[in-house]
Amino acid sequence: MKRYRLSVVGCLLFVACAATRPQTTAPDLKSVPAIAIEAACTKLRNEGLTGESALVVKKTEPSLISGASLRSVAHSYSKDLDASSFAATIHSMVQSTPLDFHATSCKWQTIDKLDPVAQAQMVVVEFSPPFINPFTKGESGILVRMSVGGRDSQWYWIPLAERQGLLGIGLVVPLDLQD
């Protein structure tokens, strides 16, 4: 009887593992969703930044999508390649859009654009427009760059996916990009 139970449990476990789960799709986003802004806020708050200590560029910055930044995203998916052609293609398909902080707990001070002279001693946060991740299926994402006046940057990748009509977010991933 014991052997029978173990084989039934084994079969059930095998079927459960083999069953297909709902597939995710890469959302086609025209602006940065509030959930991604909130995730970036939480990550930066955990690093000690507040609205008083950081400025945020109030529009997305397509120039953040570069060969170097995409190569760093590729590294987080265990790939290493020259991503310049991907960057050129993605860059031609995205445009700058305003960020909407109203649906988030973010209370940052916004600026029109990064000025390396005027903000030389300030932490500035920039967001890329959302784009489809070329390194995995079913995922879009956003690059976030935190810098001190445009120098000494820390980059993050915020993955986004849609499943059964619901937008979801993955872990905010620090990238290995140094600029």
Domain positions in the chain are 21-174
> According to DSSP H, which parts of the chain are helical?
2-18, 34-46, 67-75, 84-93
Q: What is the pLDDT of residues 90-117, one digit of tens each?
A: 989 999 999 988 778 878 888 999 888 8
From 53, 46, 7, 35, select the one nearest 127 (Cα to Cα): 35
**CA–CA–CA angle 117, 123, 124 (5° rounding):** 75
Q: What is the pLDDT of residues 3-57, one digit of tens each?
A: 444 344 444 344 444 445 556 676 778 889 989 999 998 998 888 887 777 889 9
Note whether 53 and 45 are within 8 A (CB).
no
Strand partners, 166: 163
Write the burial class of residue 121 (CB in 10 Å: 0-12 exposed, 13-18 middle, 19+ buried): exposed
Checking if the pLDDT of 1 tops 60, the result is no
- The DSSP-derived string for 1-17 is -HHHHHHHHHHHHHHHH
CB atoms within 10 A of CB 61: 16
